[in-house]
């Protein structure tokens, strides 16, 4: 299906997209939906969302009380422009959705996936070669399991004001922070593998983050805990059972923030 003008779905519908479908958004067209999208592909016949001329900045789902589903979906070649009103190849605002068994690849948007004030469930998703952030969740809650990020220009996971449980996370070659936690976020993480990034885990601005089983390899700064924005406060980060290899600096800790490594409270050094 080739789309060359904006496609708008009003509320009170359910939009079904079947397996083997390719939707090509050309001529700067976008999809806006106030109804849930039910996009169920399969391993052999995924659903593909793309922009062959790289002119579209993707899909927006907003103000939908019912749950959207994306299973075996592929998002690629979307791009943000200065006039864009949305930031992700897929952007979700005030909704509830599940994404499983899917891939975001070569997206030149501000975020590959951006969710605001939404309930999210992400499972078995890969984010490959994102120009900026791979995943940006603002004021969201839910769960992330088995997520892989490779070669992202900025942050791998960027959380603001969110309450999330994350498990089995693999991030390689993040241009800035592999995991960034800010603005009073509460994050619980388990089985986290981070490599080839400037910063492993950053907790800032009155966030509380607890992680178990963390592996760091070839990282500039392993852990960073600090206040960035004046309107918030000091941050907290508690790490248990971690291992590190080829780390330039294990941590940067600002005065009055808290970093606990394997039940030992670290002294501020910055």
pLDDT at position 191 over 70: yes
Q: Give the sign of the dihedral formed by CA 51, CA 109, CA 218, CA 239.
A: negative
What is the tens place of the pLDDT at every residue in 195-239?
999 999 999 999 999 999 999 999 999 999 999 988 889 999 999
The pLDDT confidence band at residue 165, using thresholds 50, 70 and 90, is very high
pTM of the predicted protein model: 0.96
Least confident among 4-8, 55-59, 192-196, 229-233: 229-233
The pLDDT confidence band at residue 84, using thresholds 50, 70 and 90, is low
End-to-end CA distance of the chain: 55
Count Cα atoms within 13 angstroms, Cβ side, for 128: 10
Over residues 101-120, mean pLDDT: 97
pLDDT at position 77 is 97
pLDDT at position 62 is 96
Cα radius of gyration (the chain): 19
pLDDT at position 123 over 80: yes
Do strands 258-261 and 264-265 pair parallel, antiparallel, or not at all (unpaired)?
A: antiparallel
Q: What tokens were used for 162?
A: 């969110």
Q: Which residue has the tokens 């501020």?
A: 268
Over residues 31-46, mean pLDDT: 97
How far apart are the C-alpha atoms of 180 and 178, rounded to whole Å? 7
Q: Do residues 63 and 34 lie in contact, with contact meaning Cβ atoms separated by under 8 Å?
A: yes
């Amino acid at each position: 299906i080739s789309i060359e003008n904006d496609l708008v779905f009003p509320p009170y519908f359910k939009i079904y997209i079947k397996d083997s479908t390719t939707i090509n958004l050309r001529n700067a067209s976008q999809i806006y939906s106030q109804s849930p999208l039910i996009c169920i592909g399969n391993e052999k016949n995924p659903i593909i969302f793309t922009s062959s001329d790289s002119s579209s900045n993707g899909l927006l789902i907003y103000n939908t009380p019912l749950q959207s589903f994306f299973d075996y979906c592929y998002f690629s070649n979307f791009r943000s422009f200065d006039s864009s009103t949305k930031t992700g190849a897929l952007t979700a605002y005030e909704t509830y959705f599940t994404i499983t068994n899917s891939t975001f690849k070569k997206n030149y948007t501000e975020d590959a996936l951006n969710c605001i004030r939404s309930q999210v469930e992400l499972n078995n998703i890969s984010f490959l070669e994102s120009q900026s952030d791979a995943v940006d969740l603002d004021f969201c809650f839910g769960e992330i399991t088995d997520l892989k990020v490779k070669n992202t220009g900025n942050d791998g996971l960027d959380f603001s004001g969110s309450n999330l449980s994350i498990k089995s996370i693999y991030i390689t070659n993040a241009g800035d922070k592999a995991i960034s936690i800010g603005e009073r976020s509460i994050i619980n993480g388990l089985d986290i593998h981070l490599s080839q990034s400037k910063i492993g885990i950053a907790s800032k601005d009155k966030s509380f983050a607890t992680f178990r089983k963390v592996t760091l390899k070839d990282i500039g700064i392993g852990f960073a805990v600090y206040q960035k924005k004046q309107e918030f406060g000091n941050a907290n980060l508690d790490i248990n059972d971690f291992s590190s290899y080829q780390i330039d600096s294990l941590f940067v800790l600002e005065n009055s923030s808290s970093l606990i490594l394997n039940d030992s409270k670290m002294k501020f050094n910055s």
